Amino acid sequence: MVKNPEALRSAGLQPIGVWRSGSWLPAFTSADLQQAVSCVREPVHVVRETPEGRVGVARGGSVLRDDQVNGVPTFPLLGTLPALYPEWLGDRSFTEVHGLRFPYVAGAMANGIHTAELTIAMARAGMLGFFGAAGLGLRRIEQAVDEIVAALGADGPTWGCNLIHAPNEPRLESDTVELYLKKGVRRAEAAAYMGLNPMVVRFAYSGVRRLPDGRIDRRNHLFAKISRPEVAARFLSPAPAEILDTCVRNGWLTRDEAELARGLPVAEDITVEADSGGHTDNQPLVALFPVILGVRDELAAKHGYRRPIRVGAAGGLSTPEAVAAAFSLGAAYVLTGSVNQACVESGLSDEGKRMLAQADLPDVIMTPAADMFELGVQVQVLKRGTMFGVRAQRLYDLYVAHDSIESLPADARARVEREQLQMSCDEVWALCERFFAERDPAELARAAREPKHRMALIFRWYLGMSSKWAIAGDPKRRADYQIWCGPAMGAFNRWVKGSFLEAPQSRTVVQVARNLLEGAAVVTRAQQLRTYGVPVPSAAFHFTPRPLA
């Protein structure tokens, strides 16, 4: 037990020199301290007003030794903090390996909500964006890739595309990887993978080679988005021998590539996804992230990796305080999602963006996912202003309780046709037949054998179309908009209220990103100074959005 805490505090703040003022006098009042904290791009000095007086912050001036003082005004120096740039918040290897200026990623948003325009804007700003390929057909994905390459050039700024695990459409997943390799897509965000398959392994290791100096060069970079330690372990380990052998046997990897792969993790960039919009395990970042770091370190030691493995943070990152917290946990980079969906470059309709801009923290709900409906997997969506969450759950409850469309009680079927489908089940099935005849005929064959699967496809039509209605802004189906969203959207709206970012038409992905990073640097500096004994005012931990060049 400390008998004299005041003496202990004084002992921890012993001067290490003296500071002589220049253009600015030291800041000791709350208002002056708040201004000093915001000056993150220059060194600051922690000083005392007198040997026993207030602790404050000084800018500029000169640091001297005691024997250099010749009667000029000086202050006892307690410490110096170097300049802090937003570019420096993450792991330097992340920006170096990927050729970026900022440790910031805009994650993929399915059905092209993360548009080619959004990807291009991020790349030109020195950040990384992943085009939202999930849910799109191959032709639409190819068009987007061509648009991005035309805008940025084959050797231009860094960008990437989403690679979604599609258990119901394995051919599409395979064709997407084939397209990426053909078109030179070098970075892919792997999402919804609970395990590895030959396609994700093929992308990860294609083109890997040993350079003349002995170093390993990886042409492709896989970003694995995970929320469970056991899934992280699969991506942080070399691919299983049986998968590598399958890739070699099918001509997807050369023998040399497979041999090098046996000593490399599948992914060297792991994104830890906490509570977020869309697919989520609703895990808190502060609990999950350190666990994944431990898995990374354990497997790196086990396999003797010499190359750095970077772990980024995602989920709930919509304010400077949250971004600063993620970096303080050790995140190599941060990834945002929901906040970008409300930006002007997003593929969501203007009405959908307005709905997002009105969301508050509790305005979200978990509901069945279209792509994994039969497995009972859920996604987090916007609740305010739409009935989708409740109506989708009602469909899943009917699916669980009944074996076919024909076995539904007459009143239940009538309600589904009236509220969700707004047409007969037979009419929806005719649409499904036309769709799957081109997309995946095997689904039709299975539906013919399994009436319950036919019911699932009819219900999935509603879940799939609800996202498209939100993207198109169909006014007749506004009550059925499916808009993926986490509670971070509400936090973002509270942060930007009263600022230039409050109006949806003023929200650009680059301005949102720059303000989040700039604010995170300010919050980080405020915390640093507080650990030095500076009485940092609470207002210094709140960064107000402003147009940033």
Question: Do residues 53 and 119 share a domain?
Answer: no
**End-of-domain residue from the set 352, 384, 403:** 352
Q: Is 508 a member of any domain?
A: no
- CB contact set of 249 (below 8 Å; sequence gap of 6+): none
Question: Do residues 242 and 198 share a domain?
Answer: yes
Measuring CA to CA, which residue among 91, 62, 90, 42 is closest to residue 525?
42
Residue 69: predicted pLDDT: 60
Measuring CA to CA, which residue among 252, 192, 185 is closest to residue 221?
185
Question: Do residues 191 and 321 share a domain?
Answer: yes
Q: Which structure tokens are listed for 57?
A: 């912050």
- Between CA 298 and CA 122, with CA 289 as vertex, the angle to 5 degrees is 115
* Residues 99, 23: Cα–Cα separation, whole Å: 38
Q: Is 145 a member of any domain?
A: yes
Question: Do residues 179 and 256 share a domain?
Answer: yes
CB 545 within 8 A of CB 520: no
Question: Do residues 190 and 331 share a domain?
Answer: yes
Q: Is 348 a member of any domain?
A: yes
Q: Is 512 a member of any domain?
A: no
SS3 453: helix
Question: Do residues 232 and 136 share a domain?
Answer: yes
Question: Do residues 48 and 177 share a domain?
Answer: no
Question: Do residues 236 and 281 share a domain?
Answer: yes
Residue 253 CA from chain centroid, whole number: 30
Residue 197: predicted pLDDT: 96
Q: Is 117 a member of any domain?
A: yes
Q: Is 513 a member of any domain?
A: no
CB 197: neighbour CB atoms within 10 A? 16
pLDDT digits (tens, 9 = 90+) for 452-484: 999 999 999 999 999 999 999 999 999 999 999
Helix, strand and coil content of the chain, in percent to the nearest 5, comes to: 45, 15, 40
Measuring CA to CA, which residue among 199, 168, 173 is closest to residue 435?
168
**End-of-domain residue from the set 314, 332, 352:** 352
Residue 202: predicted pLDDT: 98
Question: Do residues 274 and 186 share a domain?
Answer: yes
Q: Which structure tokens are listed for 204?
A: 């990860």
Q: Is 112 a member of any domain?
A: yes
Q: What are the contacts of 6-13 at 24+ separation with CB within 8 A?
A: 9/533, 10/52, 12/533, 13/48, 13/55, 13/78, 13/532, 13/533
Residue 3: predicted pLDDT: 47
- pLDDT 10s per residue in the chain (549 long)? 434 444 434 456 788 889 998 888 999 999 999 999 999 999 999 999 988 889 999 999 998 876 566 666 789 999 999 999 999 999 999 999 999 999 999 999 999 999 999 999 999 999 999 999 998 999 999 999 999 999 999 889 999 999 999 877 788 899 999 999 999 999 999 998 999 999 999 999 999 999 999 999 999 999 999 999 999 999 999 999 999 999 999 999 999 999 999 999 999 999 999 999 888 888 999 999 999 999 999 999 999 999 999 999 999 999 999 999 999 999 999 999 999 999 999 999 999 999 999 999 999 999 999 888 998 989 999 999 999 999 999 999 999 999 999 999 999 999 999 999 999 999 999 999 999 998 889 899 999 999 999 999 999 999 999 999 999 999 999 999 999 999 999 999 999 999 999 999 999 999 999 999 999 999 999 999 999 999 999 999 999 999 998
Q: Cα dist. 465→165, 370, 468 in Å?
A: 20, 9, 5
CATH of the domain at 140: 3.20.20.70
Q: Is 445 a member of any domain?
A: yes
Output b/e per residue, 443-453; b: 16+ Cβ within 10 A.
bbebbeeeeeb
Where are the alpha helices (H) located in 214-361, listed in sequence order? Answer: 229-236, 241-249, 255-261, 285-303, 320-328, 338-341, 350-357
CB 4: neighbour CB atoms within 10 A? 9
Q: Dihedral of the CA atoms 344, 348, 354, 358 (nearest 10)?
A: -110
Question: Do residues 117 and 149 share a domain?
Answer: yes
**End-of-domain residue from the set 352, 372, 398:** 352
Q: Which structural domain, as residue segments, surrounds residue 415?
A: 364-484
Phi, psi of 329 (to 5 degrees): -75, -15
Residue 67: predicted pLDDT: 57
Question: Do residues 325 and 399 share a domain?
Answer: no
- Between CA 509 and CA 517, with CA 512 as vertex, the angle to 5 degrees is 120
* Residues 145, 388: Cα–Cα separation, whole Å: 31
Number of domains composing the chain: 3
CB 341 within 8 A of CB 483: yes
Question: Do residues 164 and 244 share a domain?
Answer: yes
The burial class, CB within 10 Å (0-12 / 13-18 / 19+), for 334 is buried
